[in-house]
Amino acid sequence: MIKIQKVKLDEIPKAKRLLSYTWVDTYGSFFSKEAIRKITRVWHHPKTLAIQAKNPDIFFGVAKTEKGKIVGLVTVRKIKDSKIFMNRLYVHPKYQRKGIGKKLMDKAARHFRARKIRLEVEEKNKKGLNFYLKNGFRKIRKKIEVIEGQKMITIVMEKRIKRDTNKVRW
């Protein structure tokens, strides 16, 4: 059984390892190894992750197995009272397609009582793009960014969240 909870500060190194591993799996076919190393070294630095974990406007959640292994994580930040932005959602490849990503999103949305969630996904990340489309997100627009000298086309997506009394309906 998978348990979703806020990350603890002593779990930050495990969360960073998961991020580094999933980044290679997710982006390795279209980002160079050097670019991935640089990005994960800066964006996923333990001090940066710890600051995010302590920030009350950010929900940093982890999915853990019964033995405590971190197999997924999500970070969302509050934009407005009922709107959140999902900065990251990653699930270890061996644990994908088991509902963990959806559970992480649900927990994050409930944490902020969100009515709308927005995110950005790399256009070449077909697995991620398909996951979000399957979960009811719609494409808003495309953005072009340059990261570590590499052009990246990002799709901005959004979803309205329907609520009943106790749970989020995607």
pLDDT at 170 over 70: no
| SS3 category, 19 | helix
- Confidence band (pLDDT; 50, 70, 90) for 165? very low
CA angle 118, 8, 18 (to 5 degrees): 65
* Domain extent listing, the chain: 3-169
User: Is residue 150 over pLDDT 90?
Assistant: no
Mean pLDDT for the stretch of residues 33-41:
86
Residue 104 has pLDDT above 50, yes or no: yes
Of residues 30 and 99, the one with the higher pLDDT is: 99
Q: Is the pLDDT of residue 38 over 50?
A: yes
33 pLDDT tier (thresholds 50, 70, 90): confident
d(CA 81, CA 12): 28
Q: Would you say residue 5 has pLDDT above 60?
A: yes
CATH of the structural domain 3-169, one choice from 3.40.630.30, 3.40.50.970, 3.40.50.720, 3.20.20.70: 3.40.630.30
| Of the candidates 131, 118, 9, 107, the residue with the CA atom closest to the CA atom of residue 59 | 107
- Global pTM reads 0.89
Of the CA atoms within 13 Å of residue 114, those in its CB half-sphere come to: 29
Residues 83-99 pLDDT 10s:
999 999 999 999 999 99
